[in-house]
């Protein structure tokens, strides 16, 4: 199954990949409910990371996931992490991966624990960008990131919210250093409506496969 998921992530056809992945992960959600201990309040943030977060977001607690199916959290903005965890706890975010993995994990977290986790991950050394192996593709992505796509197929420029170097701010996520595959998957979710966010759903309503390839290639080179 992992190989199939990775292949879909690499090719990511707008309709087929996102919907197929949704079906597979939703099936997992029914059979696997990952949850915290009965009294997670007894665990400090670092132990919570080791118990519940490290399985997907970095086995050594460094916040750097190995698989691009899961986001890198190291250096991510604390306000954004806190907001997402609270949204997941109340099941206000229902994209396939959220349902499968994060609904169960987040349900037992208190506001204080969520704040501690967010602060912990933000404090970790962030991943830096790397030179592109496809400069021509990255150049196309740079244009989309900085200028967007004009009408009639309008795509809003990423830099408008995420900043010139992808650092984000407060409740806007850091993109620099993130897995290309993870960003591509989220863009598909936003494009198809599998992940709901009025701003992002509108901003990438008309984005194409080729544009996703290009902009994620460029984002992977960014270092704040």
CB–CB of 67/95 below 8 Å?
no
The confidence score (pLDDT) of residue 127 equals: 95
Q: pLDDT band for 51, please (50, 70, 90 cuts).
A: confident
The C-alpha atoms of residue 9 and residue 18 are separated, in whole angstroms, by 9
Rounded to the nearest 10°, the torsion over CA 202, 145, 161, 93 is 50
Task: Give the count of beta carbons closer than 10 Å to the beta carbon of residue 174.
Answer: 26
Across 166-193, average pLDDT:
97
Q: What is the pLDDT of residues 144-171, one digit of tens each?
A: 999 999 999 999 999 999 999 999 999 9
The confidence score (pLDDT) of residue 46 equals: 79
pTM of full prediction above 0.85: no
Across 63-87, average pLDDT:
97
CB–CB of 18/193 below 8 Å?
no
The correct CATH number of 33-123 out of 1.10.760.10, 3.90.1150.10, 3.30.920.30, 1.10.3720.10 is 1.10.760.10
The confidence score (pLDDT) of residue 59 equals: 86
The confidence score (pLDDT) of residue 219 equals: 98
Q: pLDDT band for 11, please (50, 70, 90 cuts).
A: very low
The confidence score (pLDDT) of residue 42 equals: 54
CB–CB of 46/53 below 8 Å?
no
More confident residue, 129 or 60: 129
Which segments of the chain belong to CATH 1.10.760.10? 33-123, 135-219
CB within 8 Å of 4: residues ≥ 6 apart: 24
The confidence score (pLDDT) of residue 4 equals: 41
Q: Is 114 a residue whose pLDDT tops 50? A: yes
Q: What is the pLDDT of residues 22-35, one digit of tens each?
A: 434 334 433 334 44
Q: pLDDT band for 19, please (50, 70, 90 cuts).
A: very low
Domain 135-219: assigned CATH number? 1.10.760.10
């Amino acid at each position: 199954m992992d190989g199939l998921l990775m292949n879909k992530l690499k090719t990511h056809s707008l309709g087929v990949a996102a919907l197929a992945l949704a079906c597979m992960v939703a099936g997992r959600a029914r059979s696997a409910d990952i949850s915290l201990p009965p009294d997670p309040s007894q665990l400090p943030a670092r132990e919570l990371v080791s118990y519940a977060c490290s399985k997907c977001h970095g086995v050594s607690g460094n916040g750097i996931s190995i698989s691009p199916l899961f986001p890198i959290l190291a250096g991510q903005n604390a306000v954004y992490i806190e907001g997402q965890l609270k949204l997941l706890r109340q099941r206000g975010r229902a994209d396939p991966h959220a349902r499968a993995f994060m609904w169960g994990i987040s349900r037992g977290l208190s506001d204080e624990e969520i704040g501690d986790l967010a602060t912990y991950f933000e404090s970790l050394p962030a991943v830096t960008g790397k030179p592109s192996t496809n400069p021509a593709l990255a150049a196309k992505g740079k244009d989309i990131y900085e200028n967007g796509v004009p009408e009639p197929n309008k795509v809003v420029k990423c830099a408008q919210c995420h900043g010139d170097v992808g650092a984000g701010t407060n409740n806007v996520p850091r993109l620099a250093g993130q897995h290309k595959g993870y960003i591509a998957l989220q863009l598909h979710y936003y494009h198809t409506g599998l992940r709901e966010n009025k701003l992002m759903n509108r901003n990438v309503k008309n984005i194409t496969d080729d544009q996703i390839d290009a902009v994620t290639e460029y984002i992977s080179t960014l270092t704040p």
